[in-house]
Structure 1
Amino acid sequence: MQTIFQTAAALVSLYTTLCFIRIIITWIPGVQYSAFGRFLSTLCDPYLTLFSRLPLRIGGLDFSPMISIGLLSLLSSVLGNTAQTGRIYIGGILAYLVALIWSVFSSLLGILLITIIIRYCVLIFSRNSTSYNSIWSYFDSAISPLVFKIAGIISGSKPVSYKKALGIAIIEVILALACGRIIMQIFIGLLSKIPF
């Protein structure tokens, strides 16, 4: 039985590597349409497209590959641990899943934070106001509802300027990332100690 689980873990690990390579070569069109690229597409795309339907896309960034690779890594880890111990540890599986979810969520928050900081800096250092047709006006129309919603947590119903809302949102997202990391470390530690 141990050999079966070890072999399955190795195969899942190999498939994870192939899916990772497939994700990387989608960024290189010449390689993507080569014979090797088409082979990987045939092998990996049925699995990867299962996750592309999840609402994990922000602008041009798609975070669904993180979930797909993370779940394959989890499966490989579970199979490898089962081969070594002869048991499946639910606590370890739950801890890994929570860590994976937090990783995706914190990545999204990190991208949001960088975006808000860039916009805040542009507002501070620009001498003239943003024209209606500039790229920043389109950028603002995309992020301002979220910025005001985040800033509303502290400001409540009190109206604030866009620049102030950006500053408040930066502080709140930094606090959310810091507190979330501490809470997740404690929670993951507790989950991993579940004895079964």
Structure 2
Amino acid sequence: MAVDRERVGALVRELLEAIGEDPDRPGLRQTPERVADAYAEFFAGVGQDAAAPLARTISVSRGPAPETVPSGAVMLRDVAFRSVCEHHLLPFRGVAHLAYLPGEQVVGLGALPKVVDVLAARPQVQERLGEQIADTIAGALDARGVLVVLEASHACVTMRGGQQKDATAVTIAARGDLAEPAARAELLALIVGRRPESPSAE
């Protein structure tokens, strides 16, 4: 279902009036349309199938000799994402670190950020976003284990209330063999050993 831009624009106009503003003054005249366009982008993942990018897999055991047996983890670090917190409709942004223990099939590395993009483009909370990413990867691939670590800065923390401008939230979601803390320790060490600068909400 596509975002109803016309309806969003009308509601933004009403919101501007509700806060005591004049939506017809020059600086705000095009704001409803601009917000509608932004929301169409922010919430483009609503109703989309997050597993669709993982539909095309690659065999790791069949191919040029000698044939191989899957063993180690596949990890993609520092996948940038942005989303909108469903509690205050304020943005949060950060990086995702994704790892899985492949079975017989792997997926092109470019597919993993697409899963994050689809699931982040919905009203979200970080905790659920990580769990949904892990469930999607685990469900679509023949993976023996999945690990998703998200680190993000939330505007509802940095810009309101206590205004903790440097605070970031870290969440971990794990499935299969990587659900055991000892099993994922090596992967977490690889993530911590190469931490990017803390993301900041804008």
Do they fold alike, i.e. is TM over 0.5?
Answer: no
More helix by share: 1
| TM-score bracket, shorter-length normalisation | under 0.3
Q: Which one scores higher on RCO, CA 8 angstroms, separation ≥ 6?
A: 1
The two structures have a TM-score, normalised by structure 1, of 0.25
TM value normalised by structure 2: 0.25
Whose strand proportion is higher, 1 or 2? 2
